């Protein structure tokens, strides 16, 4: 069975980010974090601050926010060949090594690419295994604080145990 696990997230140098924006624009790009109760330790805080507008929830919810192109996420998985072929149709960067019938696979993409991959895979017309794996990816995003990104979408549970958006 196919398995997937979170591996890496963009890590910000807060001191540098805040200092440069403050010197260049005259305000802190993190001013809006307190108002919406986002902790700087939360990965969503940086993603919500990247547009430097101090409206982090709006930034996270805006699927076309430029900040989504500057934040990278990696997952690692044990996949079968069929799933690797399906994942190659996404905008994610894929690296794999095969051993027998198992592919140890690293998937990396900007948040922009992950949003696209999750939304396209979480459809009833998509392959069950691809949808199941992207359901796990979405659950991982929600667990680390990215639930606002997908807050405009409603999950519809399917009889096979997966959901669509």
Span 56-71, pLDDT tens digits: 999 999 999 999 999 9
8 A C-beta contact, residue 96 and residue 106: yes
* Residue 35 banded pLDDT, cuts 50, 70, 90: confident
CATH of span 3-7+71-164? 3.30.70.3180
Separation CA 132–CA 29 (nearest Å): 36
By C-alpha distance, which of 110, 74, 108, 76 is closest to 94? Answer: 108
The residue extents of the domains of the chain are 3-7+71-164, 10-68
The per-residue pLDDT of the chain, averaged, comes to 96
| pTM for this entry | 0.93
* Residue 34 banded pLDDT, cuts 50, 70, 90: confident
8 A C-beta contact, residue 120 and residue 126: yes
Question: Is residue 62 exposed (0-12), middle (13-18) or buried (19+ Cβ within 10 Å)?
Answer: middle
Note the pLDDT tens digit of each residue in 97-126.
999 999 999 999 999 999 999 999 999 999
Please identify which residue in the block is written with the tokens 């027998």. 100
Q: Report pLDDT for 37.
A: 87
Question: How many Cα atoms occupy the beta-carbon half-sphere of 62 within 13 Å?
Answer: 17
Neighbours of 101 (CB within 10 A): 8
Q: What is the mean pLDDT of residues 131-137?
A: 98
Distances (CA, A) of 77 to 23, 85, 87, 114: 42, 14, 12, 15
Q: Report pLDDT for 154.
A: 97
Q: Report pLDDT for 79.
A: 98
Structure tokens at 17: 């980010």
* Residue 76 banded pLDDT, cuts 50, 70, 90: very high
């Amino acid at each position: 069975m196919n398995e997937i696990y979170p591996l890496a997230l963009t890590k910000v140098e807060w001191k540098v980010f805040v200092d440069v924006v403050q010197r260049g624009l005259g305000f802190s790009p993190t001013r809006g974090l307190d108002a919406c109760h986002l902790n700087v330790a939360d990965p969503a805080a940086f993603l919500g601050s990247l547009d430097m507008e101090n409206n982090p929830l709006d930034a996270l919810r805006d699927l076309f926010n430029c900040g989504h192109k500057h934040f990278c996420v990696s997952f690692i998985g044990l996949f079968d060949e069929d799933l690797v072929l399906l994942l190659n149709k996404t905008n994610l960067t894929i690296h794999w090594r095969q051993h027998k019938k198992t592919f140890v696979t690293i998937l990396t993409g900007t948040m922009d690419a992950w949003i696209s991959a999750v939304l396209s895979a979480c459809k009833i017309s998509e392959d069950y295994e691809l949808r199941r794996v992207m359901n796990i990816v979405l659950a991982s995003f929600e667990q680390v604080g990215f639930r606002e990104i997908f807050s405009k979408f409603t999950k519809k549970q399917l009889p096979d145990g997966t959901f669509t958006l």
